[in-house]
Structure 1
Amino acid sequence: MCVNCIRTIVDITEGIPKQATIHYCKSCGRYLQPPAHWLACDFESRELLALCLKKLKGLGKVRLIDAGFIWTEPHSRRIKVKLTIQKEVFAATILQQTFEVEFIVGYQQCPDCMRVMAQNTWKAMVQIRQKVDHQRTFFYLEQLILRHNAHVDTINIKEVKGGLDFHFAQRSHAIKMVEFLANVVPTRSKSSERLISTDIHNNTSNYKFTYSVEIVPICKDDLIPLPRKLANSLGNISPLVLCSKVGSSIQIIDFRTLQTADISSQVYWRTPGITCVSSIRDLKEFYVMDVELLGPRNGRFALADVTIQKMADVGRNDDVLIVRSHLGNILNFGDTVLGYDLTTANVNNDNFANIPTEDLPSVVLVKKSYGDRRRKRRNRNWKLKQLSKEEGELVAKKQEQEKLEADFEQFMRDLEEDPDYRQNINLYKTGAATAAQTGDSGAMDEEGDDDDDEYPDIPLEELLEDLNLNGSSKNPNDPFDDGEEMME
């Protein structure tokens, strides 16, 4: 075949886009180099040409011979690049082709210019952080903020990696938020200020204030080894305890004696080395073979000797373990329980290493497990309200989104299993709860919520009516408006 016939049959530019978009910031004159880097380039420069070529995904499959700009009007917001490429189409046959690619310049403000332009929109900011690998604490904190209406003075709430940012128009509102956080969770805070402008004639200055609030990295059901000195000061409690609740202080319980104690935020921050060695992600399932109550009780906990077996060993061997636990009145024969297996745990902690070997249990039972039968799909008769947040710098990757959904599901199940955990949270009725209250049992049977009486459910008397006090947001003239409620 001749060259002309080959060109009419084979198109080596297939797969290379002929049009693309690049983003340009008018304030600083920089171009966006994905994913988040902004590069300063002159018009028709080598840097801009390299940036344009990186936007073309199909160039890696061909050989680039030449590239250059085609002159366009600067105000046209178009950049044209002429490319010459080569590719082997048949055996010992290389075809060369020249074509044009048009880039559309889209305006987008860079983060630096956004901060400069929006410097007068907020006066104070409260940054809330917690150094843990889950978001359950922030889900609980969000419900406390909604219950006490502590977010009423915020002008923006931004969700960032590791926490939340609250923006306020006045400094007093930010101080009020810091004081509220100190009353509901153990925290420590520090403040900083930045000078924005100064008026030398009136002797006045404009500042922006930032309050950094750090929540203790201890969560419910964490296993905590205590320093010997601190354990003695808390009534000679065992140095290995479980965190039973996190409120204004850290509430701990000795699972072998039912002795309880509180660790205040001041004590935690001035005592180095208090960290958890096992969190909820380290829990393993065990099968309950026998429960022998020992008598002592402390609220909803009872002391017992529990005979357990690993789920992997059930039906295969007779290897059982007898452990002392505080879940005597919760567990029965045939139940499944979650616990920390210390025989296979790899712990690197000085306080844990100082505990004598004879005082270390093989397994620490934490809570009863209700299986995975309804974990993925559960038609609950209650729901939670959420804050209106902006995603900010948080990258919504698929893995992070799945992890966030798993943390939220775990938080919802904790609310169902622990009445004390949900007593400070507002829970609202759903359509299923309304149907059950009016006696429509057929709807409940269809959803499948009454086929598992063992699974803990929240009573209807604890649920609130979901009322929209600000009026409905439904537009009667818009048939596509579903009337979703708006939170002020």
Structure 2
Amino acid sequence: MASSMDLDAPVSYNPSAGTAGTGATVLCYNCGAPIDGRAGALCLDCIKLTVDISQGIQRDGVLNLCRDCDRYLLRESTWVVAAPESRELLALCLKRLRGLHKVRIVDASFIWTEPHSRRIKVKITIQGEGGGEGVLLQQSFEVVFTVAYQQCPECMKSFTHHVWRACVQVRQKVLHKRTFLYLEQLILKHGAHRETLNIKEAKDGIDFFFAQRNQAEKFVDFLNSVVPIRVKKSQELISQDSHTAVKSYKFTFSVELIPICKDDLVVLPIKLAKQIGNISPLVLCHRIGTSVNLLDPNTLQTADVSAPVYWRAPFVSLADAKELVEFIVLDIEPIGPSKGKWLVAQVTVARESDLGLNDKTYSVRTHLGNFLRAGDSVMGFMLTGTNFNSELFDDLEASNTYGSRIPDVVLVKKHWPRRRKHRNRNWRLKRMARDEGELLPKKADQERMDDEYELFLRDVEEDEELRAALALYKNTNKKKQRSAAAMDVDEMSVAETEATEDDEAPKVDMNELLEDFDELTVQDQE
């Protein structure tokens, strides 16, 4: 019978197994509700009422708005466009709040406000731990932003008086500013600078600032009518009115002058020389007008190179006025045709520095037959023994046609060595008032600029065609006249000696001079 009885399987007994998953039940010390003692001393409802996870987060802020362009200030100098109740504006508001990095943002939205109230309300929902370990709370709160009006720098520029809207940058890539001295006189004579707000000296040229775009375009047209130039235009957006969609721009006109100046020795590309009249590639630049005027001193043949033709095949001068050498005329014989003021002559010259040292002479053809006599001084370029860093000159020397025609010396203009450097002239030129800015000249640079201006004044005295294009005024400096009248006999004798030495130098006729009415006073009129 016992064998037929069913026996239950053995069951293990663990007294603590039933109480492992439950903790002691305690009462919330605030409201008395029963809670799990391991969770803390407060129930969840009391935690929500007493713990503030948004503590330390701003509840108000300021947004800076530019009313002209409807842009908000993001940081120091960054302005962004944000439409009302847009994602961009919401992101801007959240970035302005301090303390949000400690919590997690669940939701954010705008609360409607009156547009004229200048208030922006944002409802933010955050999550964070609080009230005990492992307790995650969610809380919503409102932040009020006040809109403060502030003008952005771009709109400030557009509304500031006398701020330029267009700039004309005139540049010439040469080591001197002789062309700018000539251009300055043309600008003054025609009054092309009257509408400028400011004229500023630059490294390789001059900047002209204008209040309107059409004024700058008018000035560029004037430059194009007097000198060969190339113009590039650019524009920069300053501001945009979101109400009227009107955009404000700043315009810049980059004007580059051809880097060829008067009295420069030029080597043309052989192909270009054939295209402009089959002129000799080795020529002199005798004038700068709306085009570059070139002259062959051996044949008096002339040719013009316009700006479009030049920029298709640009070239630079082989030598400029700084490389001129003084020669003494030993003998001269007119041999060739004449053209205007020029006459072809065969001249025998010697370098002034070689006199007394050697008997080296040079026989060359020149276009200065009407101006030179035996014993005169003349300035020219020394080609023999000079190394030129020019591919065009190397091609000219290697040419079968032109290689044997390269002269030893190219004479440019007559020279008066006894002329005083800074003599008192009965005429003067006006100068433009300009802002040197940060480019205040050093002593050496100032001396170089004075020498360039003196050479320009001498060119004006020597060249009648150049004087005809400029406005020369009478020099009415009475202080010099009084000091000259007060000199004693010895000083007068010295002055007479200097005057006799200067008699041969060219002078400007008083009939060519103008009265400067801007400097006339009541005493002058009486």
When the two structures are superposed, what TM-score results if normalisation uses the length of structure 1? 0.69
| Structure 1 residue 159 displacement after superposition | 1.0
Taking a change above 3 Å as real, the CA distance of residues 175 and 329 of structure 1, as seen in their structure-2 partners, is same
Would you say the 8 A contact 1:382–1:428 is kept in 2? yes
* 2:489 aligned with 1:466: no
Residue identity matched to 1:239: P
Regions of 4+ moved over 6 Å: 114-117, 432-436, 442-446
Structure 1 equivalent of residue 190 of structure 2: 148
Give, in whole Å, the separation in 1 of the partners of 2:516 and 2:493.
23
Note the alpha carbon deviations across 1:161-213, whole angstroms, 9 max, x for none.
11111111110000000000011000001111111111122111111111010
**Is the 1:433–1:460 contact (alpha carbons within 8 Å) kept by the matching residues of 2?**
no
Distance in 2 separating the partners of 1:432 and 1:404: 23
Closer, same or farther: CA 332–115 of 1 in aligned 2, 3 Å: farther
1:134 aligns with 2:168: no
1:227 is aligned to 2:269: yes
Q: Does 1:419 align with 2:461?
A: no
- Identify the residue that residue 3 of structure 1 maps to in structure 2: none
Counterpart AA for 2:301:
Q
Which residue of the other structure, out of 232, 238, 255, is the alignment partner of 1:213? Answer: 255
Amino acid of the structure 1 residue aligned with 2:412: V
Of 396, 399, 406 in structure 2, the residue corresponding to residue 360 of structure 1 is 406
Worse overlay, 114-123 or 170-179: 114-123
Q: CA RMSD in A?
A: 2.8
Q: For residues 73-130 of structure 1, give each alpha carbon's deviation from its aligned partner in whole angstroms, at most 9, with x where no partner exists.
A: xxxxxxxxxxxxxxxxxxxxxxxxxxxxxxxxxxxxxxxxx99976651111101010
Match of 1:309 in 2: 350
Q: For the residues of structure 1 that align with 2:157 and 2:492, how far apart are their CA atoms? A: 51
The CA deviation at 1:352 is: 1.1
The share of aligned pairs that are identical, in percent, is: 48
Higher-Rg structure is 2
- The superposition leaves residues 225-279 of structure 1 with CA deviations (integer Å, 9 ceiling, x where unpaired) of 011111111211001000000011100000110001111111111113x210100
Change beyond 3 A, Cα 1:219–1:117: farther
On the 8 A contact 1:382/1:433 being kept in 2, the answer is no
Greater shift after overlay, 309-318 or 398-407? 309-318
Residues 444, 450 of structure 1: 8 Å contact kept:
no
Return the alpha-carbon distance in structure 1 between the equivalents of residues 384 and 321 of structure 2: 17
- Given candidates 269, 275, 278, the residue that maps to 2:319 is 278
1:371 aligns with 2:371: no
SS at 1:468's partner residue? helix
Residue 328 of structure 1 corresponds to: 369
**Would you say the 8 A contact 1:380–1:432 is kept in 2?**
no
User: How far off is 1:344 after superposition?
Assistant: 2.6
Task: List alignment gaps of at least 5 residues for structure 2.
Answer: 1-75, 77-152
TM superposition shift of 1:295: 3.2
Kindly indicate whether residue 242 of structure 2 is the aligned counterpart of residue 200 of structure 1.
yes
Structure 2 contact 155–239 (Cα < 8 Å) conserved: no
Aligned in 2, Cα 1:159/1:368: closer, same or farther, shift over 3 Å?
same
Structure 2 residue 419 is matched with structure 1 residue 403:
no
| C-alpha spacing 1:118/1:381, structure 2 compared with 1 (3 Å) | farther
d(CA) in 1 for partners of 2:376 and 2:156? 60
Following the alignment from structure 2 to structure 1, what is the Cα–Cα distance between the partners of residues 512 and 479?
A: 13
Match of 1:175, SS? Answer: helix
1:472 CA displacement: 5.0
Picking from 197, 201, 215, the partner of 1:159 is 201
Kindly state the Cα deviation for residue 223 of structure 1 after the two structures are TM-superposed: 0.6
Q: Is the 8 A contact 1:435 1:444 kept in 2?
A: no
Query: Number of paired residues?
Result: 358
1:168 aligns to 2:213 (yes or no): no
Aligned to 2:118: none
1:456 equivalent in alignment to 2:501: no
Find the residue that maps to 2:214 and give its secondary structure.
Answer: helix
CA distance in 2 between partners of 1:164 and 1:118 (Å): 23
Paired residues of 1:379 and 1:447 also in contact (CA < 8 A): no
Q: Does 1:295 align with 2:340?
A: no
